[in-house]
Structure formats: C-alpha cells, structure tokens
Amino acid sequence: MSSLETALEHGLTEEEYNKITGALGREPNLTEIGILGAMWSEHCSYKSSRIYLRNLPTTGDRVIQGPGENAGVVDIGDGLCVVFKMESHNHPSFIEPYQGAATGVGGILRDIFTMGARPIAILDSLRFGDPSLPKTKYVAGGVVAGIAGYGNCIGIPTVGGEVYFDHCYDGNPLVNVFALGVTRADEIFKGYAEGVGNPVIYVGSKTGRDGIHGAVMASETFTKEAEEKRPAVQVGDPFTEKLLLEACLELFKTGVVVGIQDMGAAGLTSSSTEMAERAGTGIRIDIEKVPRREEGMTPYEVMLSESQERMLIVLEKGKEEVAEKIFKKWGLDFSVIGEVTDSHSIVIAENGETVADIPLSLVSEEAPAYDRPVKEPSNLAELGRLDHSELPVPGDLGRVLLTLLSSPTLANKHWIYEQYDYMVRTNSITLPGSDAAVVRIKGTPKAVAMTVNCNSRYCYLDPYTGAAIAVAESARNLACSGALPLAITDCLNFGSPETPEVMWQFKRALEGMAEAAIALDTPIVRGNVSFYNQNEDRAIFTTPTVGMVGLIDDAQRHLTQWLENEGDVVALLGETKEELGGTEYLSQIHGKTAGLPPSVDLEREKNLISTLLKASGEGILNSAHDLSEGGLAVALAECCFNPNGPLGVRVDIPAEIRPDALLFSETQARAIISLDEKNIKRLEEISQEFGVPMEIIGRVEGSRIYVRELLDVPVSEALTAWTTGFENNLKSYG
C-alpha cells in the first residue's frame, strides 16, 4: 500500500497528504501518518470550525483561563476558582454505550484534576432516538449505566443534567459530559513542556491497543459498519483513575511539576505535541520506555493508543525520585520516557533509532483550516410556516397537560438519576430535578450552581435563535437557583462540515451564542466541537449544548423550583405571547415540528435575571422556576412536585390569547415564583426597578393544579403521569 493510500485510510485528503510531503521534503512513514492523521482530524484540529470559534467572547473580569488549556477557570472570590469543561463522547457511545459513556466521564474528570482542581460534580446532557426502538433502549440503558458506573466508583457525584428524545438521534446519540472542580486561584497547573532538558514522565495505567484511531473515528460519519469499530472505543477503569487523581493532587503539593496533560483523544500523540507547542519547545519520546500491557506493540500503536487513566508530566530535572515515590505509593506506573528539547519538533525514537520526526508547526499551526461553503437549507422557509388558525384547540386541556408530563423528554428522569450517587462527598445541596444543580464549597459560605441546556428543535428551526435561547435559558436556570451566571463551556454537536447547510447552521448558531453570551456577560471559557453526527440517512438536529456555571455567595439563599408553603402567593415574571412554533405541545399534541421558535429578547432576559437575583438575595422568594419546554402549565405542575410532599396551586390568569397558547406557549424571559404575601410590595418594587412585568396569578393551596376554567387536574394524577412516563418507555430495555 502506498503512503497516499495509507494517508487516505487515516482520514487525510490527497491535498493534505501533499501538504505533508511538501513540508517534510519526503514521504511520511506509517507512524508519522498516524500522528498527523490524528492531529489533523476534525476532532483534534477543529479545521472546519476554527474560523468561527475565534469570534466567540472568551474574556471577562472573572476569567482566569480561557480556551487553549485542558479546562476553563473562573474566579469565585476569596482566592478560590472553579475549573470546568464539557466534552462529547458521541461516536464511542453508539458503538459501545457503556464504555463510551464511562470513558467520557473519565476523560472529562482528568481534564479537571490535570489543572490542579479536585472534581466535585458531574452533569450530563444526553440525546437519544425514538424511545420505542429497541436500539434506543439498549443505547440509553448502556450510556446511563456507564455514567453511573464510572462516577459512582470514583466517588464524584452526578448532580444533574438533561435528557431529550427525538428520531433525529436514531443511530447517533449525543453524550455530552460536564465536570467541575475547585482549587485555589494561585494553584493552577497547565499543559506546558517547558525547560530544555526537563524529563518527560509517563504515569498511570499501562498502554494497550484499545482506542487506537479513536480521534479519527470521531471525525467520521456513521455507517452500517460503525459497530464493527469497537476496538476504537477506549476501556475505562474508575478505580485506577481514583488512584491517579489522588496521586496527581499529592504531586502538585511538592512544587516539582512544570506541566501536565491528560492523554485524551490521540493519546500520547496529542499530549506530547500540544504541551511542546504551547511552550514553544520540542519533545523527544523514547517509545520503548512507555509501559505496555500488550506485547509486540509498534511505535505507531503506542503513540495512537487512547488507553485511559494516563498522564504526561514534565518535571523539574532532578526531581524524578520525588514524583516516582508518590506514584509508586499509589500503585501506578511511573516511567521517564523522554525529555524537553529545543528542536521545535516531536521526535520518536525506539532503542536509539528515530522512527518519527515531525516539526511541531506542521502538527499545529500549519494544520489545515477550512472556510467551508455555507448555504441556508432550502426547506427552512417552509419549516418556519405555521398558521395558528389551522391548529384546533384541544377540548380537554387537562389531558394535554398529562400527555406532556408523561412524554419521554419532559417526564421525571428518576430512573436515570437514581442510578447516580448524587450525594457522595456530601456537597450536594439541591436534589436532581430542579433548574440547576447546587453544590456547596466546603469551608466557605459559597455554593456553585451549574446547568446544561439546549433545545435542539429550536435550533433546527432557527439555529441563531435556538443557540441564543440555550444561553439565555441556562442563565435563567442559574438565576432561579439564586446564582449569578459567570461563564460558559459548550459542546457543539453538528452533522458533516462538508455539507454547506450544516456549516450554515454552525455559523448561525455560533453567532446567536456569541450575542447572548456578550449580552448576559457569560464568556465562553472552554468548549468542544463534535462534527459528523449523522448516519447515512440524515444529520442530527443542530445541538449546541451550553453548560453554564454560577455563584451563590451565601448558600443559604439558594432556591429550588418547588413550592414550599401552603398559602404562599404565586407570581409570574414576564409576559406570555402566542408562540407555539417549535414547542413540545406542537410536537406531542399536533405531531408537528414547524414554525419559528420563541423570540429571544436579551435585554428582557438580563432584566429578569437581575430581578430574580436581587429578590433572592434579599430573601423574599421561597421558590423560582423558569418557563421553558411545556410552558406555564408544565412549569406549574413541576413546581407542585416537591420531593418532601406535593402541593397544589390555584391560578387565575386572564386569557388574552388562545387558551392552549396561554398554557403551553414557550415564550422566553419568564419565571414562576412563590413568596409570602408580606413580600409582594417589595417584589413589585424590584420588578419595576428592572422593568420586568409582574403579575400575582394565584396561591399555593389544595391538592389540584387549577388554572381558571381551563385546566383542573389532581396533583396526584399529574405526578403519576410525570413519574411513570419515562420509566414505562425505557426501564425494561434490552
């Protein structure tokens, strides 16, 4: 097989291959092709997205570390910071659901503690296909078990997340995992291979043949043969990761670490080249010194293996024994496998013979960057048409509410989160199911809130508006929990970048996300792009998932969405419009995915957030819940489902719009709050200060969900529909 044919098998194009031969002045060998194929893959190089990513807002007063490192870092005051990131593990999770999801958790946790932070929380954003399909049930069950198995074993709580179902994810699920850790702002570690002559250290598990070509596989479209690629899926070991975590955190205290990086996608290849490139140095790897668990492994296999639970560390020269003692104590492999050089190249040697020699500039800055053709989808205008007058108003709106509550997307996900140990380490303040997860920062009065959000149906109909709403809803979720929104990490899940319509969706989504992030002062400090999320028939809906972090200075002021006290007043912040396009109601009741998504007004969103934060900071709110999928009626029902005992609500709100829109419109910039009657006047003053419409609409009372004469449903019946809807669809998978 010629070098060109080998390059094509590694995902390189003929044009890219010619660029490599020109730069090297020779034909590359197999190991070099493997290295460049991995590093030039879409997954590692962002070659189709870089021109757009640079336009995102990434700086702010609290930003300590933005894009370019293993994770983003944000200041939370008093010398502390949070380290967080979200990554995708979509392709591996379809091929091997359990290990694909498990290693996604392991990888994101290593990104956190590599920076010197102890991980304290995990969230996940999951997308599956039609829940009636056996394959969906198999994939969903395996993914959930994998997340639970890894997180529970390592002792990091999975405290929240989101789950959506849609036929567009048949054959291509999305598994996006978010993790957050805490450390001191002056104790952050970075992935730099600095100091010529400093030793390069391999620590963790031994290297095997699992995960080879993982980065390339993640940059391919799914085919019918995808499941044959199981060897490209990594195998995780959470018990070893726990040892690695503790060993690394102990090592950091010694002061001997120059730089450190997780061996993630592309394994030893990416960690070594990225560390040297950031530092402007070079690196030599003596490949025979890499610990292995399989015999006969070639340099190519060792460099491209994505075996898990491994780190690459640069130490101060002469401090090897200090580090080795720690890793041996924890029962982990430790080996000096090379050194930092001034060559500006990566040189791989085996028993003194050079087997690869590539300029780092060719790996990184000279990697291809494409300005792909963009084209608005031809069906977009047709999708956007929706004549409300042609939609009949259902006669039994209470039955509509029950149907929505039992739909797989809106129903209670207790079958999932009960598999997670969400209370381990005893930091969790808010139980799964509220607007945001809230975790205390031990030793301080502070708490951190976090959420993940994206309505892909909105993004399919209008990627700009949908992406902006993903940011706005995340900020509302945090504000409804009493947290000031701080910053964003994202997971951008799209189809093939070689399709002009997909690139148009990508471009517009990033424009919407950027505008919203700027308006709400939530810079994007880290992210991930996952292309080629499609099968042979179609691409997934545009899914730019937003993970957002917020700060509560006084954890005692945190809020949940659940009504707390009989007799409390219920108020609506914001205005309801007749916006049924892209709604859960339109999809579940009328069988349509059409119309324009709800409009987004970022000034109104900002004012609503300010109102919620000031009111919660003064302690006048007893609960708060943002309105999103399902609209007012679903939000009211969710407020009634207090885990400590359900409560009823009686609402009397004028129907100035058609009744199904009043109940199920998904108009943005709205929240349901409850408070003691004595605090109404103060709430009115705060609402007026920020120009937010406020209306007292009801009271917490009885055991029914009542909205005028439009809807009257026993809370018990609504709770049963909500509790069993998801379980009935998925619990018996297999």
* Confidence (pLDDT) at 367: 92
32 CB-side CA count, 13 A? 23
3-state secondary structure of 717: helix
Q: Quick check: pTM over 0.85?
A: yes
Catalytic site positions: 43, 89
- How would you class 537 by CB atoms within 10 Å of its CB: exposed for 0-12, middle for 13-18, buried for 19 or more? exposed
With a CB cutoff of 8 Å and minimum separation 6, the contacts of 273 are: 35, 39, 283, 346, 360, 363, 364
* Confidence (pLDDT) at 230: 43
Give the phi and the psi of residue 560 in degrees, each rounded to 5. -120, 175
Q: In what order do the strands lie in the sheet with 671-675?
A: 623-626, 671-675, 569-573, 694-700, 649-651, 704-707, 711-714
β-sheet bridge partners, residue 625: 672
* Confidence (pLDDT) at 733: 38
409 CB-side CA count, 13 A? 23
Amino acid at 208: G
At 294, list the tokens: 């399989």
* Confidence (pLDDT) at 421: 75
Q: Cα–Cα distance between 523 and 516 in angstroms, integer? A: 10
What is the 8-class DSSP label of residue 712?
A: E
- Taking 50 as the pLDDT cut, the residues of the chain under it are 217-219, 225-230, 731-734
- Nearest 5°: the CA angle 77, 81, 84 is 140
* Confidence (pLDDT) at 458: 97
Give the phi and the psi of residue 500 in degrees, each rounded to 5. -55, -35
Q: Cα–Cα distance between 529 and 540 in angstroms, integer? A: 14
At 488, list the tokens: 């964003």
- Nearest 5°: the CA angle 410, 414, 417 is 110
Q: Cα–Cα distance between 559 and 438 in angstroms, integer? A: 9
Q: In what order do the strands lie in the sheet with 257-262?
A: 257-262, 310-315, 199-204, 333-341, 282-286, 345-350, 353-359
With a CB cutoff of 8 Å and minimum separation 6, the contacts of 86 are: 108, 125, 176, 177, 178, 179, 452, 489, 490, 491, 526, 527, 528, 545, 547
Instruction: Please provide the DSSP assignment of 305-341 as one string.
Output: ---SSEEEEEE-TT-HHHHHHHHHHTT-EEEEEEEEE
Nearest to 427 by CA among 450, 404, 410, 394: 450
